[in-house]
Copies of this chain bind each other. A is one copy, B any other.
Amino acid sequence: MGWRRRYAAVPFLNASIHTLMSQIAQEVAIDLGERSYRIAIGGGLLADAATYDGLPRASAALIVSNTTVAPLYAAALRAALAGRFAQIHEVQLPDGEAHKNWQTLQLIFDALLAHGCDRKTVLFALGGGVVGDMAGFAAASYMRGVPFVQVPTTLLAQVDSSVGGKTAINHPLGKNMIGAFYQPQRVVCDLDVLGTLPAREFSAGLAEVIKYGPIADMAFFDWLEQHIDALMARDRAALAHAVRRSCEIKADVVGQDERESGLRAILNFGHTFGHAIEAGMGYGAWLHGEGVGAGMVMAARLSQALGLVDAVFVQRLTDLVARAGLPVRGAVIDATDNAGRYLQLMRVDKKAEGGEIRFVVIDGPGQAAVRPAPDALVRAVIDASCAP
């Protein structure tokens, strides 16, 4: 793609004794002019008051979390914020992609208005991608915009969804169809919280880590092949590198194309097929990262069918996805006309234009492109890629 690399990883010396004792945190800058912010990465950050230095002043904060994460971390976050906000409110959403809808979003607005929150109130999204997307869209929309901070507690949210300002809810007819580009004030990636993540969720997060290799950095892909077992064992040093490198690549892409008018679409590698699986199976049956795992293999096969990559590359990606504990075959979402149903669902993808599906393909290892593909070719890939 020829996009410039301008990495912004710099050491981030946190003055608090707590953090110095645990480890030196790092930060990645995301450069968007007046909407710039930084991603803090390290151990023990969530509960450290110094993590939140420099945020906008306000009398109130609202912690948006879910019924799974709040019992684990809300008290620690609240304690860390206590010196900064006179009032700290909290709302717990039901957990899961199936609840990423307007009804659940209303719970956030209801809480904000019930507490008389003004337009300076700071929202804290404490949870995974669903919480981050909903709290972010609520922040974008409440009184036409209040500040918010992402405190992602899943690997997927740390390496992908909490960075870059995409917020949304689902519509019955399509995933993430209603939302906003709205940047957070800060992203806080506390590596310690990844320890409590269920294995299935952790693997789902690795799908978004893996994607950065084929689309942008084959050296990172090589590193992942060498360290996938350490990552699966949640080795702290390996995690720190994977999260930082993922955030750097994402920051780089988003800094060049905030509103997805071009380049940014490559971050959706594997997502066109993946979204069809998620929607076709009913949201929540497959985790988002599971759909992306199988979707990347399908997109790589399509790239091969288009003559862009060879079988060796497809096999390497397939093996890495499998070693990350992810599915490598797509779901059968329609017993009668499976490929037809995939095509129907993919035509409402946000990248589609005038009914033409636009796929993120690998244009050669380490670089991606967005392009259409003949229906017959896509059908063949789907038929060859889906279980049983």
- A interface residue numbers (CB < 8 A to B): 59, 102, 106, 109-110, 113-114, 116, 118-120, 140-145, 166-168, 171, 173-174, 177-181, 259-260, 347-348, 350, 352-355
Contact of A109 among B116, B177, B348 (CB under 8 A): B177
CB <8 Å contact, B177 and A116: no
CB <8 Å contact, A181 and B113: no
- Closest B residue to A180 by beta carbon equals B144
A260 to B178, CA, bound (A): 24
Contact of A145 among B180, B347, B353 (CB under 8 A): B180
- Closest B residue to A181 by beta carbon equals B144
CB distance from A107 to the nearest CB of B (A): 12
Contact of A113 among B109, B141, B348 (CB under 8 A): B348
Residues of chain B within 8 A (CB-CB) of A178 are 109, 141-142
* A171 with B348, Cβ < 8 A, contacts A144-B179, A177-B142 known: no
A168 to B347, CA, bound (A): 29
CB <8 Å contact, A120 and B166: no
CB distance from A231 to the nearest CB of B (A): 31
- Closest B residue to A260 by beta carbon equals B144
CB <8 Å contact, A259 and B145: yes
CB <8 Å contact, A143 and B177: yes
Residues of chain B within 8 A (CB-CB) of A177 are 109, 113, 142-143
CB <8 Å contact, A144 and B168: yes
29 interchain pairs, CB-CB under 8 A: A59-B353, A59-B354, A109-B171, A109-B177, A110-B173, A113-B171, A113-B173, A113-B177, A113-B348, A116-B347, A118-B352, A118-B354, A119-B350, A140-B180, A141-B178, A141-B179, A141-B180, A142-B178, A143-B177, A144-B166, A144-B168, A144-B179, A144-B180, A144-B259, A144-B260, A144-B350, A145-B181, A145-B259, A180-B180
Residues of chain B within 8 A (CB-CB) of A350 are 118-119, 143-144
* A118 with B180, Cβ < 8 A, contacts A102-B106, A106-B102, A171-B113 known: no
Residues of chain B within 8 A (CB-CB) of A181 are 144-145
Identical chains in the assembly: 2
CB <8 Å contact, B109 and A353: no
A178 to B141, CA, bound (A): 5
A106 to B109, CA, bound (A): 17
Contact of A118 among B106, B120, B142, B353 (CB under 8 A): B353
Residues of chain B within 8 A (CB-CB) of A354 are 59, 118, 120
CB <8 Å contact, A174 and B113: yes
- Closest B residue to A58 by beta carbon equals B354
CB <8 Å contact, A353 and B120: yes
CB distance from A357 to the nearest CB of B (A): 11
Residues of chain B within 8 A (CB-CB) of A180 are 140-141, 144-145, 180
A141 to B171, CA, bound (A): 12
Given A113-B348, A144-B166, 16 extra CB contacts under 8 A: A102-B102, A109-B177, A110-B173, A113-B174, A114-B173, A116-B347, A116-B348, A116-B355, A118-B352, A118-B355, A141-B180, A142-B178, A143-B179, A144-B167, A144-B259, A145-B180
Residues of chain B within 8 A (CB-CB) of A140 are 180
Residues of chain B within 8 A (CB-CB) of A355 are 116, 118
Residues of chain B within 8 A (CB-CB) of A179 are 141, 143-144
CB distance from A34 to the nearest CB of B (A): 11
CB distance from A373 to the nearest CB of B (A): 17
- Closest B residue to A143 by beta carbon equals B350
With a 10 A CB-CB cut-off, give which of A144, A173, A354, A355 has the most chain B CB atoms: A144
With a 10 A CB-CB cut-off, give which of A141, A260, A355 has the most chain B CB atoms: A141
Residues of chain B within 8 A (CB-CB) of A173 are 110, 113-114
